[in-house]
Each structure stands twice: as C-alpha cells, then as structure tokens.
Structure 1
Amino acid sequence: MPCPDARARGAHVERLAADWLAARGLVLEATNQHAKGGELDLVMRDGDTLVFVEVRHRTGTSHGHPLETITATKRRRLIKAARFYLQRNRLSCACRFDVLAVTGTPPELEFEWVAGAFEAF
C-alpha cells in the first residue's frame, strides 16, 4: 500500500499539472473522479470539448518514460471511467483523452502533453 507521502506527492503533482494545462487554455471541471474500475485524474474543457487527462509522474526516466505506463489495460479503464462520468453527469459532447507526462521533482518539473493520446473505440 502506498505511503501517505506518496499519495500527497501525487495529488500535488496533479494540482501543478492542472495549473500548467489551465495556463495553456484548458478549464478545470473536476479532479479525481472515481468510477467502478477506474479513476479520472483531471476533467477539463478545451472549448466545447471535454478532456479527460491522465497525469503520469516519474521523478526520472531511468526506469522508462511516464508515457510508457499507459498500457492497453489502463486505456480501457480510463475509457470505462469516462463513459461512467458522462452518464452520471448526463453529458453528451465531444470528448478527448490526453496524457500529461510529468518528470522531475517540484519545483523542477518537465511537462509533455499529448493531446488526443488515444481514442475510445
């Protein structure tokens, strides 16, 4: 089980990620939306498009880049959670799945944003 410090660090990085994306024009709608079998880190708006953002953080890349952690299983869980979010909130709108890879330790973070990282087939 992860220690509370790791959970707090993760939440802190997600807040910084939301701020970073907001500075680039996205508007925060919700954070940490839980659904059966999955969780949505950030739900944001980009104009009329609802954006589900998966934030992946690693302090370094010696064990691989954060983008490499988005497996087919993870994509399926995110899509399922997004469908649940849309249904629960009675939303019908254009949607997109983005991944924001964050490397480093605060305040020295690097962000790599992949808009439209994958599709919900």
Structure 2
Amino acid sequence: MLKEGTEDLRKKTGKSGEIRAREYFSSIGYEIVETNFRSKSGEIDIIAAKDEILVIVEVKTLPNGNGELLLHELNSQKQKRILETAKYFLAKHRRYSNSFVRFDVVVIDMPGYPEVYHIENAFSEFS
C-alpha cells in the first residue's frame, strides 16, 4: 500500500515529465495535437504531428529507474492499451487516417541516460 502523499508525488512527477516531453517535441518541430487522450482502453500521454507522421507518445519519468524498470513499465499489456487507444483516436479523428503512425517513448530523468531520452518506434502493433 502506498503511503499517503506518495500517489500525489508520483502524479506530480509524471505531469512534470509530460510537460518536458511536450516542450521537447515542440522544440524539434512537432505540433502537439492532444495530451492525455483517454478512451475506455487507456490513455495516451501525447499525440504529436509533423509532416505526414502522427506520433503516439508514452512518457515515463523515472528519476530512480533503470532499463529493467522501463521494460516492466512498458510491458505488452501497457502497449496493447496504448494501441487500442490510438485506434480509437484515429477512428474519431479521420483527418489523420493517411498519416504514418509511430509509437515513441520518451524517458525523463532516468539515471545514465540523457535528461530527455527519445526512443522512436519503441513498439508497434506487431511487436
């Protein structure tokens, strides 16, 4: 069981990481289409677009993390929820139907990695 306040700290850390990830994508020329898009399947942290590419971004803020924790956080069940939510987004927003869809992960503050570590094509529906 989490101590009182731990959940609030995790949410605050996560929100801070999402803001930094949005700033990162904006700085490299992406338009932020939507944030925290929800469906019954799950949530997408950031949806960004550039040219004909629509990027579905999962943000992980892991100041005490490592590669093993990252793999655990992005397990196949989590990937499936993101994929299902992306399909729902695309069904609702037909203007992106001709876009190439890419699934990226941005890792924030993980020791031993850049402060903002961007993993392009981190997974796909066929992973």
TM-score, normalising length from structure 1? 0.84
- SS of the residue corresponding to residue 96 of structure 1 reads strand
The count of corresponding residues between Structure 1 and Structure 2 is: 118
Partner SS for 1:3: helix
Bigger helix share: 2
Residues 100 and 20 of structure 1, relative CA distance in 2, 3 Å threshold? same
Aligned partners of 1:5 and 1:119: how far apart in 2?
31
2:119 to 93, 98, 114: 114
Of the structure 1 ranges 109-118 and 14-23, higher mean CA displacement relative to structure 2 is found in 109-118
Question: Does residue 99 of structure 1 match 2:105?
Answer: yes
Looking at secondary structure, tell me which structure has more strand per residue: 1
Structure 2 equivalent of residue 52 of structure 1: 56
For structure 1, the residue ranges without an aligned partner over 5 or more in a row are: none
Residue 70 of structure 1 is matched in structure 2 by 74
Aligned to 1:83: 87
SS in structure 2 of the partner of residue 98 of structure 1: strand
Kindly provide the CA deviation profile for residues 13-68 of structure 1, in whole angstroms up to 9, marking residues without a partner as x.
Answer: 10111101211222111000001121000000122111000001111236845355
Separation of aligned partners in 1, 2:29 and 2:117: 16
RMSD over aligned CA atoms reads 2.3
Matched, 1:37 2:44: no
